[in-house]
Amino acid sequence: MNNFVKKLVGFSMGPVIGAFIAFITVPLTTYFVDASEYGKASMFSLFQLVIVTFLYLGIDQSYTREYYSEKNKLNLLQNSILVPLSLAVLLFLIILIFPEKISFILFESNDYKVASILFGIMIISLVFERFILLSIRMEEKALEYSLLNIFVKLAVLILTLIFVLLIRRDFLAVVYSAALGQIIGDIYLVVRYRKLFNLKNFSLDKRLLRKMMVFGFPIVIATSFSSVLNSFDRLSLRTWSTFYEIGIFAATLKIAGTFNIIQASFTSFWVPTAYRWYDEGKDIKYFKIVSDAILLTVSVLFFAVLFFKSFIINILSNGYEEAVYILAFLCLQPILYTLSETTCLGITFSRKSYLHIWVSIFSLVPNIIINIILVPKYGALGAAIATAVAYIFFFVFRTYFSSRNGMKFKVTKHYIVVLLMLLAAFANSISITGILMINIVLLAASLFLQYSTIKQMINMINKSNKFNFKKRIKYEKNL
């Protein structure tokens, strides 16, 4: 248990400090850049996220799946990065040939060719970053992984400060600082870990590539739907609303992204740990203990955000006041994704990656329907509701398919607590008296449902302390 906690803490350092850096970056940006300009910048980030996800072709997931099966880890990494990197370079060449068209797609203007070229360079650097960090993560080098994440985030923050304070205060300040900060950070990673790309003993393994493509292809399709799921809210706002609403939504999404501390910390640590446990034949009860503990953690933090929502939103500066009404809905996205990581393992362990396609479809359909109905009338609030509901479907179907493939444990408590959080999100989406008491009652109900988990966590801590005490006494006697 001590080793478990140490690795979790080690992997958590990077996301926690990185999230703190991002938390500083957001209000700094929104103070100098108004909501409409911030909305334009957010479209740059959105397209970057969507395109990079497609370029991986699911091979990044295949890499983690095959890591413990392959003896030659370096050759596995080099074979894994080959296709995504080739596609990234091809895309960059296309951008160099048609920079005006790419500029129009990103910003609805032909005038931002430099930003388009930076976009292409950043795509290449992100591919390198992804596989370097995956390699470090799978080696379970927690502290090293965390420090590298911090470095990249810090590079973006420094560039943001330089641009908004000394150069310009429009959406291009956000775009340039994000792109250049990312590129500089990733260049450092490539130089430091250049041994990973030493091709002296490289051997193209067609069998391995085929195996990874077979596993990864369904993930590509699922990722395609997931990308639409994660971007349809802003695309809907761009179609039926204004850049101002996009700015409000994007800024709130950044604040809600604080929950990515838990998501990034936990998933970075959990993926290699879960694979190792599976290979060791660990009993399913251990997976359930982790799932229950994560449910307790995210639910308590969710209500903590609701208690301090006004203070949190005030950080954004004037012009973003409406964000307070959608914050709770957007917090549910990283919460439910993190929770689903503990309940979806049956899909991965069974190698039935095609089930992710169905999960994405069942999540995407309600997302599209709700966006179409609510966004034209309610703007950012409608998009936030659609995102929250879609991720509830995402969690439910990930859990369902996993339980049908060998990872079945009781999750009734999970569903009830999630519904309580959704109810709280709706209550906090309008200005009503007594909202504090409503939040307290819903939190109390959530904790009551999780009493057995709380008791179990306390017992585990006590046992761990007793074990450490006995170990210390024994050590002192030997002295």
Tens digit of pLDDT for each residue in 359-368?
A: 988 999 999 9
15 with 146, same domain: the answer is: yes
Q: Is residue 167 part of a domain?
A: yes
Mean pLDDT of the chain: 82
402 with 473, same domain: the answer is: yes
Selection from 277-286, 321-330, 380-389 with the highest mean pLDDT: 380-389
Of 155, 188, 204, which residue sits at a domain end?
Answer: 204
- Considering its fold, how many domains does the chain have in total? 2
Contact between 237 and 380 (Cβ < 8 Å): yes
Backbone angles phi, psi at 432, to 5 degrees: -135, 150
- pTM, two decimal places: 0.67
DSSP type of residue 56: T
299 with 388, same domain: the answer is: yes
346 with 402, same domain: the answer is: yes
436 with 368, same domain: the answer is: yes
Q: Is residue 314 part of a domain?
A: yes
317 with 181, same domain: the answer is: no
77 with 124, same domain: the answer is: yes
Of 170, 218, 220, the C-alpha closest to 34 is: 170
In the predicted structure, residue 9 carries a pLDDT above the cut 70: no
Q: Is residue 225 part of a domain?
A: no
DSSP type of residue 322: G
b/e string for 204-223 if b means 16 or more Cβ within 10 A? Answer: ebeebbebbeebbbbbbbbb
Q: % helix / strand / coil in the chain, to the nearest 5?
A: 85, 0, 15
Q: Where are the alpha helices (DSSP H) in 241-322?
A: 243-256, 260-280, 284-307, 309-314
195 with 255, same domain: the answer is: no
- The CA angle 432-435-438, to the nearest 5 degrees, is 130
173 with 260, same domain: the answer is: no
Q: Is residue 96 part of a domain?
A: yes
Q: Is residue 231 part of a domain?
A: no
Of 143, 175, 204, which residue sits at a domain end?
Answer: 204
265 with 348, same domain: the answer is: yes
Q: Is residue 230 part of a domain?
A: no
pLDDT of 476: 47
Of 180, 154, 184, 151, the C-alpha closest to 167 is: 180
90 with 149, same domain: the answer is: yes
Q: Is residue 280 part of a domain?
A: yes
Read off the pLDDT band of 394 (50, 70, 90). Answer: very high
The angle, 0 to 180 degrees and rounded to 10, between the axes of the packed helices 355-378 and 380-403 is: 160
For 92, the enclosing helix (H) or strand (E) is helix 73-97
Q: What is the pLDDT of residues 103-144, one digit of tens each?
A: 888 777 888 899 899 999 999 999 999 999 888 888 877 677
Q: Is residue 232 part of a domain?
A: no
Contact between 358 and 351 (Cβ < 8 Å): no
Question: Range of 289's domain?
Answer: 241-479
Q: What is the pLDDT of residues 247-274, one digit of tens each?
A: 788 778 777 766 766 666 677 677 777 8
Of 237, 214, 280, 274, the C-alpha closest to 381 is: 237
Helix (H, G, I), strand (E, B), or coil: what is residue 451? helix
Q: Which residue has 């339980």 as its token pair?
A: 403
Contact between 103 and 163 (Cβ < 8 Å): no
188 with 276, same domain: the answer is: no
Of 204, 228, 263, which residue sits at a domain end?
Answer: 204
State the amino acid at position 458 in one-letter form: I
**Alpha-carbon separation of residue 257 from 252, 299, 398, 407 (angstroms):** 8, 15, 21, 29
